[in-house]
Structures are given as structure tokens and as C-alpha cells.
């Protein structure tokens, strides 16, 4: 089988989204329904999440490979230039997120603020989580979903990718979701323009590490 395909169909995309993000969307929705009282940032909570991401990614990549998808094209290629671009991209996305939430800031604590305030997570787990989670999200949201659906219209591909990203971050509260949307939009526009996945992954890694510092 010739593994050169980088496009996807809406049906295949839906199955991969359900596999890779369905559980996380469900858990995020349950957190909203519970009044944002569920969940925490701790080693005991984050390590199972990482195990789930590794398992889901392995299954998804195997399924795509068996269906003739160019799986190797989803692997980010680290370079010094990519790291520098990732740092700059993180800075731009941080500023965009700040601009997006500023009109809605009321001064009352947001669910994500409360989660961060009671976080009890070790530095090794933070770094491990950032490396795996950053790669996981951007590989499937940008590399697979956004790129794969572009043949069905850029607005559709971008919209679906951003919608999935926001849905599994709803546990962060309304302003957290707005911030995630702005962050995802910056990374998506960069990827659309450049086609380079690693800078977006590195920017996401920084976004997962810096707040805990």
C-alpha cells in the first residue's frame, strides 16, 4: 500500500476525533455540568491522562497507517529554527489570548484560576505532560484535522479544528475557553501559512509549562 495520503474524509475525521478527543470532551462537559468543581492538576490526575493520550495516539496512527495515510508526515521535526519560531509563536498566542479575554474580565476568579491555585504537580510531570500533550493535540488538530479537511473548504477545516479544541477545554470556564480559542487560532493560522508543525507543537509545550512556573 502506498502511504502518501494526507487528506481525510469527514467520516474518517469524525472517527479519529471521537477516538482521540471524545473521552476528553465528555470529561470536560461533565466538569461544566458539575459547576467546574471536578478535576485537578496533580501527578495522580495527569499521569493517567498522559497514558490515555499515548494509547489513543497509538491506535489512531495504526488505523490511519492501515488505511494508507502518510503517518510519518504527522511527526513534528525539531530544529533550532523551529524552537525559535515556537517561542515567538507562543508570545504571539499569549498576547492574542490576552486581547481576547480582556473585554470580558470581571475580576471574579475563573475555574482555571482555581485549578491552578490548588495545583500540586511535580516538575517532571509538568514537563512530561507538556511534551506529550503538546505534540498530541497539535498532531491531530493541525496535522491531521486541519490539513486533512482543507479539501472540503478552509473555513470548514479551521472551524472544526477550533471547535474540537475548545470543546475539550470547557472545564477551564468561559474565559478559559475564549483564551484557548485565541491560542488555537494563532497556531492554526501559522500552520495554514507555513505548513510547519513543530513550531506550533513547541509553542503548545511552552503554554503547558510556563503557567506552572
- Residue 103 has what pLDDT? 85
* Helix-helix angle 174-194:80-101, to 10 degrees: 140
| Torsion-angle region of 103 (φ positive above 0: left; ψ -120 to 50: alpha; else: beta) | alpha
H or E element: which one contains 16? Answer: helix 10-33
Residue 119 has pLDDT above 90, yes or no: no
User: Which of the pair, 204 or 40, is modelled with greater confidence?
Assistant: 204
Strand, helix or coil at 80? Answer: helix
Residue 134 has pLDDT above 70, yes or no: yes
pLDDT in tens, 147-195: 999 999 999 999 999 999 999 999 888 888 999 999 999 999 999 999 9
Residue 32 has pLDDT above 70, yes or no: yes
Eight-state DSSP code of residue 69? B
- Residue 205 has what pLDDT? 97
- Residue 5 has what pLDDT? 92
Model confidence at 197, in pLDDT bands (50, 70, 90)? very high
Output 106-115 pairs: Cβ under 8 A, ≥24 positions apart.
110/172, 110/173, 110/174, 110/175, 110/176, 111/31, 111/36, 111/171, 111/172, 111/173, 111/176, 112/172, 112/173, 112/175, 112/176, 114/36, 115/39, 115/40, 115/41, 115/171, 115/172
Reading the block at residue 1, the C-alpha cell is 500500500
Q: Of the given ranges (1-10, 67-76, 93-102, 115-124), which has the lowest mean pLDDT?
A: 115-124
Residue 49 and residue 128: Cα distance in Å, rounded?
Answer: 11
Sequence-distant (6+) residues with CB within 8 A of 160 are: 13, 145, 149
User: Which of the pair, 171 or 132, is modelled with greater confidence?
Assistant: 132
- Residue 1 has what pLDDT? 67
Model confidence at 104, in pLDDT bands (50, 70, 90)? confident
Model confidence at 42, in pLDDT bands (50, 70, 90)? confident
Amino acid at each position: 500500500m502506498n502511504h502518501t495520503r494526507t487528506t481525510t474524509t469527514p467520516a474518517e475525521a469524525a472517527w479519529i476525533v471521537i477516538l482521540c478527543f471524545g473521552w476528553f470532551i465528555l470529561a470536560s462537559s461533565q466538569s461544566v455540568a458539575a459547576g467546574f468543581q471536578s478535576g485537578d492538576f496533580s501527578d495522580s490526575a495527569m499521569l493517567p491522562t498522559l497514558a490515555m493520550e499515548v494509547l489513543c495516539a497509538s491506535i489512531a496512527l495504526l488505523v490511519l497507517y492501515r488505511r494508507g495515510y502518510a503517518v510519518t508526515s504527522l511527526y513534528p521535526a525539531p530544529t533550532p529554527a523551529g524552537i525559535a519560531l515556537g517561542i515567538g509563536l507562543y508570545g504571539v498566542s499569549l498576547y492574542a489570548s490576552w486581547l481576547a479575554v480582556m473585554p470580558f474580565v470581571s475580576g471574579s476568579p475563573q475555574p482555571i484560576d482555581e485549578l491552578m491555585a490548588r495545583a500540586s504537580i511535580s516538575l517532571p510531570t509538568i514537563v512530561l505532560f507538556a511534551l506529550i500533550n503538546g505534540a498530541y493535540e497539535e498532531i491531530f488538530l493541525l496535522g491531521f484535522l486541519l490539513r486533512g479537511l482543507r479539501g472540503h473548504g478552509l473555513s470548514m477545516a479551521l472551524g472544526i479544528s477550533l471547535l474540537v479544541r475548545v470543546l475539550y477545554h470547557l472545564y477551564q470556564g468561559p474565559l478559559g475557553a475564549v483564551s484557548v480559542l485565541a491560542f488555537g487560532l494563532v497556531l492554526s493560522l501559522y500552520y495554514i501559512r507555513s505548513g510547519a508543525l513543530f513550531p506550533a507543537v513547541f509553542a503548545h509545550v511552552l503554554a503547558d509549562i510556563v503557567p506552572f512556573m
